[in-house]
Amino acid sequence: MSTATLTPTPTGPVPVRTHSDEGRIGLRANLRHIGALARRNLLQIKKDPESMFDVLLMPIVFTLLFVYVFGGSVGGSMGGGRQEYLNYLVPGLMAMMGMNIASAVGTGVNDDFRKGVMDRFRTMPIARSSVLIAKIVVELGRMMIATLILLGMGFALGMELGTSVAGLLAAVALSAVFAAAIMWIFILLGLAMKTAQAVQGVGFLVLMPLQFGSSIFAPTQTMPGWLQTFTDVNPLSNLADAVRGLMMGGPVAHSVWVTLAWAVGITLVAGPLAVSRFRKRT
């Protein structure tokens, strides 16, 4: 009678993938991971459709509010009326849209850590950066939806495109590039703050001065001298002026290059810092 031989199961510690393994992941595998993680984020939105309320309603509310509350007075000071102000406002709101939606990236990252989702990602053979890039990809998609609604609202109210479809597409692309750069800052905030409420609070304190101390809602010529100095260096002013020029006509070269320089600079600084912080936390 034969007896079976049992092989003992190792009881040592389970090896954990080190950060050096991330460098061995090829570009194709990295893109595949980003796609899978992006689908996971989209499924979250599908399960929680209320998370799209800001994207669907914010463009409508802001357009109606500013056009019909401030359009008469601000448009009159510009030598026109509500129609003149509508043509001025919508490109500015395109510049603002990415900033508001970008804040959702920081709260989402913070919430994932609180729920323990990042602990599961830690054991998976994926690049750390792919988790963050996937979030940016999904938020850019949300931004495109908000931008389409904003443009649809603007044209429905009588906005006139002063250039061409190519100029409009260039304006949308420039807004998306700058928004992607800003998202790295909010990801860094989400990794640094303890709660999602703290991320929202700090984000609000950052966004409000940048948005209202810019040329998004009104021309800067009537502002005090010290505030005009701030608006001149405010990246949102350059973005709004660039988008406005691409859509309505006028000089755009300086504003476009300054906006791109801001986007590249923010990405080069905040991107590596966010990835490094993410590695330390996972």
pLDDT tens per residue, range 21-38: 445 666 777 778 888 888
Per-residue pLDDT tens for 234-264? 999 999 999 999 999 888 999 999 999 999 9
Residue 70, pLDDT above cutoff 70 = yes
pLDDT exceeds 70 at position 46? yes
pLDDT band at 200 (very low <50, low <70, confident <90, very high): confident
pTM (two decimals): 0.84
Can you give the three-state secondary structure of the chain, one letter per residue? Answer: CCCCCCCCCCCCCCCCCCHHHHHHCCHHHHHHHHHHHHHHHHHHHHHCHHHHHHHHHHHHHHHHHHHHHHHHHHHHHCCCCHHHHHHHHHHHHHHHHHHHHHHHHHHHHHHHHHHCHHHHHHCCCCCHHHHHHHHHHHHHHHHHHHHHHHHHHHHHHCCCCCCCHHHHHHHHHHHHHHHHHHHHHHHHHHHHCCCHHHHHHHHHHHHHHHHHCCCCCCCCCCCCHHHHHHHHHCHHHHHHHHHHHHHHCCCCHHHHHHHHHHHHHHHHHHHHHHHHHHHHHC
